[in-house]
Structure 1
Amino acid sequence: MAPPIRYYCSYFDHRYLPRGLVLMESIWAYNPAARFFVLCFDEECKRLLDQFAHPNITAIPLAELEAADPELLVAKANRSLVEYYFTCTPSWPSYLFDRFPEIDLITYLDADLWFFADPEIVHEEIGDASVAIIPHRFSPERQHLAKYGLFNVGWVSWRNDEEGRRCLADYRANCIAWCYDRLEENRFADQKYLDAWPAKYPNLRIIQHIGANLAAWNINSHCLSVVDDILFFGDRRVIFFHYHALREMPDGRWNLSLDSLMGQRHPLLIDAIYRPYVERLKAKGVEMEERYGPIRKYTDIRYAKKHEAKLDAAPFPPGGWRYVGVSWPEPVNPQNGGWSFEAIADIRRKQVAEFRQRPSAIAAGSTLLEQANSLVAATALNHVQGRLGAAEAVSILDWGGAVGLTAEVLHRLAPTVSFSYTVKEVAEICRLGAELMPGIAFTDKEDKALAQRYNLAIASASLHYSRDWRAVATGLADSANTGLLIARQPTVRDQPSYVAYQNAYGTVFTCWILNERELVEVIRSRGFEVAQRFLSGDAAQIDGAPKQPTFHSYLFERVRDVPTN
């Protein structure tokens, strides 16, 4: 008996085209009659799909959808690229129902899926439902991510009936009105709207098969195994995997959206899931270039998660840190994206949004670590203001201060203290900070930041990322009239300073682990003494290090003036 014709839709630009083709081929392996509708987000994607000329692919340019849905085009003006992609999610299948009335059930798929078994297993579970959605099924350590949505948009099905069309119409109206890459008022992108669907649509089916939409966020719920060459998750067959945030790096290595322990917990995760998929992507890229000529590199425009592992690179140890030596490496680790790394801006935006939703009672932070570090900053501010006098406003420089969130924390914790705030950061973060914190001065110029004088200079979790940390520490001290806070600084005693790699935010940083006496002496030489020393709650287990660091915060106060260069 021939398999039923199934209708799928997806969207992507040229950067995701190899993934889209690999997805489609993985389904055709089980159902050669499956039809795919692809919304092409750029002309190159449409051109290549037209040249590919597969009879079961219908490629439609974005302009055609926008012409049919003028409200979608209006929304485009106030969305980022990825936010606009999210906004298109419900408009795309709605358009397909209107243009192709033979479609009885349309299933939207994210392009970064790969099938290990027949998708008909999922369709059988859907049955005659009008709407079908799939839960994230977060593993226990990822439950905190449920605030971004209980369900994932990787697979969503709608039937061409009254309830299915009503669901799509409601969803489209929601996304046209608001669809941004941030958590706000119980909304997040195109995803969190799905939380309300089970109560709104009686003929909705929640897909229960645990092997469907397996991903980094639920992999720790069960174990992977292979029986008779079939891949299982727990006691159920793996149907498809969601390769969220997988990216090829400039050096040809691949970032997998995995923390440093997942590969150790699940050996098959690399060998049976990620490695064959990456090899298939590579082969598809070569095939396309041989057939159609050079194709621009594809990258993942969606935000990446923290602690990504790298395929075909030496894995980082469980702690995410590795000893380098006693001097800064030349050249710097080629994996090092530094603080300009693209994912960090998305992380900072989310941190601000989450902070602004907190009640004032936990203004210092929602964790003990956040609270401790916030209170250290508030202590430094109060100490400096006490020396200046209550009537005088405090001028503050925050070196490596991200988007200036510490300023908002201080406003909440010390509402009676008046202060001005300047942040020195990389250019990308400065631009975001100026958008989010219009009352703060941002600069990416080191000399400009240090040319002024401040009552208080802060370097929180930032000094050790400077190659010439002595010069930076000296500059900060010389710019500070009254107080200097070096916070969350990894230090060692009875051991010379050394260099380590830190795997975090989906990239690798080079940083110093400083000898405490050496650090203090550099600051003392500029006219300061230690006023208070705090133990920070940060921790690092550095593989191969001669001695493990502890993290401290140091509040220095100026006791004498010294000549500056």
Structure 2
Amino acid sequence: MKAICTIITKSHLHYAQVLHKSILRFMPDIHMHMLIVDTIESERPKTLERASAYTNEITTQSELGKKIYDKYYQKNMDHYRWSIKSVFMANLLERGVDQLLYLDSDLFFFDDPTFLFEKLNNKGILLSPHFRCSDPSIDYNEYGRNNTHGLFNGGFVGASKNGIPALNWWAKACHSVCEVNKKAGYYVDQSHLNMLPVLFEDISIIRNHGCNVANWNITGSPRSQKNGEVLLDGRDKLVFIHFTSDTIQGILSGEDPLLKPYLDEYEKALMEEMPSMEPFKIKKPWYQKLV
């Protein structure tokens, strides 16, 4: 069984539903599992279409999940959400899911993601590179972020049952340290992902530049247009965009103009789900923050 999952606060339920709908266009039976970290059992949504919602009860049943909860939940909710990710994924795989994609709720798909599941055939973990600048002579600072922010993006991680040992290692590493300390080499949960291809043999890496398109790969995944279609790195069709606030601001400011039609589609989908939502606006002053 294939599935997707995400971790949110209850304020982002609509974002998760929009993400889910973007994938249902291509995989109409795909089920979404949502961990809502600030919802108690009595408030848990129970009538979601092709989706299931969970509370922290599902992750704190394990000893490691309880330790992560005790360490981060009251101290830093973001660090808790990031650290509990691998515990939630392993739990779902142990409950019967065969292949699973973890997706941040601010992702949106524009093409069929089936091939991403296929990359998990006979593999344990699927990682998504940031595709930052790979040449320090072109952009010294952006190239350096490969080392300070992690080679792989924690907003997309795939796993199969074979990947449970790697997920458990990741959870233990996050329990030990989940912080931003660039001098020491720590960037929340992401920097730990650098170790997975070293420690585990069954790691697959996405080479398609059309995946996880965002502000951080403007240089590493150059955009072009051919026959009305946007291509990444001159060859790859756009599959999904990571609509972080900086990605949105970069598009609105004109720094990433070829992605504007995709932002418009995303905004329309969000406003259909949340009619009271304000349209996206450029923030003043705006400067590009590559994160």
Fraction of identical pairs, as percent: 21
Deviation at 1:503, TM superposition (A): 3.6
> Per-residue deviation at 1:256?
2.2
Aligned mate of 2:121, from 123, 127, 135: 127
Distance between the aligned counterparts of 1:183 and 1:269, measured in 2?
Answer: 30
State the TM-score, normalizing by the size of structure 2.
Answer: 0.84
Deviations 1:223-276 (A, max 9, x none): 232636x54322211111111236xxxxxxxx8242887x25x43222x22122
| Matches of 2:75 and 2:181, distance apart in 1 | 12
In the TM superposition, 1:349-360 aligns within 5 A as none
Q: CA RMSD in A?
A: 2.8
CA contact (8 A) 2:35 2:53 kept: yes
The 1:58/1:46 distance shift into structure 2, 3 A limit, reads farther
Q: 1:64 to 1:209 in 2, by over 3 A?
A: same
Distance 1:236 1:46 in 2: 45
| Unaligned segments of structure 2, at least 5 residues | none
* Distance change (3 Å), C-alpha of 1:503 and 1:240: closer
> Structure 2 CA distance, aligned partners of 1:215 and 1:242?
5
Give the whole-Å Cα distance in 1 for the aligned partners of 2:169 and 2:2. 24
Deviation by residue 1:83-140 (Cα, 9 ceiling, x = unmatched):
1111111111122233x1x211222111111111100122334432111101100135
Answer with 1 or 2: which has the greater Rg.
Answer: 1
Name the aligned partner's letter for residue 155 of structure 2.
Answer: G
Aligned pair partner of 2:87 in 88, 91, 100: 91
Residue 102 of structure 2 corresponds to residue 108 of structure 1:
yes
Describe the SS at the equivalent of 2:215: coil
Q: C-alpha separation between the residues in 2 aligned to 1:12 and 1:176? A: 19
- Residue of structure 2 in register with 1:200 after alignment: 199
- Cα contact 2:37–2:55 (8 A) shared by 1: yes
Structure with the larger strand share: 1
Higher relative CO (Cα under 8 Å, sequence separation at least 6) belongs to 2
Q: Which one of 245, 250, 253 corresponds to residue 258 of structure 1?
A: 250
Q: Match for 2:2: what amino acid?
A: R
Matching residue within 33, 37, 47 for 1:41: 37
The aligned residue for residue 225 of structure 1 is 225
For the pair 1:281 / 2:270, whether they are aligned, the reply is yes
Equivalent residues in 2 for 1:48-447, closer than 5 Å: 49-51=45-47, 53-54=48-49, 56-68=50-62, 69-76=65-72, 79-98=75-94, 100=95, 102-139=96-133, 141=139, 142-146=142-146, 147-161=148-162, 164-183=163-182, 185-220=184-219, 221-225=221-225, 227=227, 230-233=229-232, 234-245=234-245, 256-258=248-250, 263-264=254-255, 266-270=256-260, 272-286=261-275, 311-312=280-281
The answer as to whether partners of 1:122 and 1:212 remain within 8 angstroms in 2 is no
Any idea what SS the aligned residue of 1:137 has?
coil
Q: Is 1:8–1:106's contact at 8 Å kept on the other side of the alignment? A: yes
Q: Which amino acid aligns with 1:40?
A: I
What is the CA-CA distance between 1:21 and the residue it aligns to? 0.8
SS in 1 for 2:208: coil
Tell me the residue number matched to 1:18.
14
User: Amino acid of the residue matched to residue 27 of structure 1?
Assistant: I
AA of the residue aligned to 1:197: L
Distance 1:12 1:159, change over 3 A: same
Tell me the amino acid that sits aligned with residue 283 of structure 1. Answer: E
CA contact (8 A) 2:69 2:80 kept: no
Instruction: Give the 3 Å change call, closer, same or farther, for CA 219–159 of structure 1 in structure 2.
Output: same
The one-letter code matched in structure 2 to 1:222 is P
> By how many angstroms is 1:172 displaced?
0.8
The 8 Å contact of residues 125 and 159 in structure 2, kept in 1 or not, is answered as yes
Distance in 1 of aligned mates of 2:205 and 2:40:
36
The match for 1:464 is none
Preserved CA contact (<8 Å) 1:212 1:238 = yes
Deviation at 1:46, TM superposition (A): 8.4
- Runs (5+) with no aligned partner, structure 1: 247-254, 290-296, 299-309, 314-334, 337-501, 507-565
State the SS of the aligned residue for 1:50: coil
Q: Which runs of 4+ in 1 moved over 4 A?
A: 44-48, 310-313
- CA shift for structure 1 position 281: 1.0
Q: Residue type of the partner of 1:62? A: N
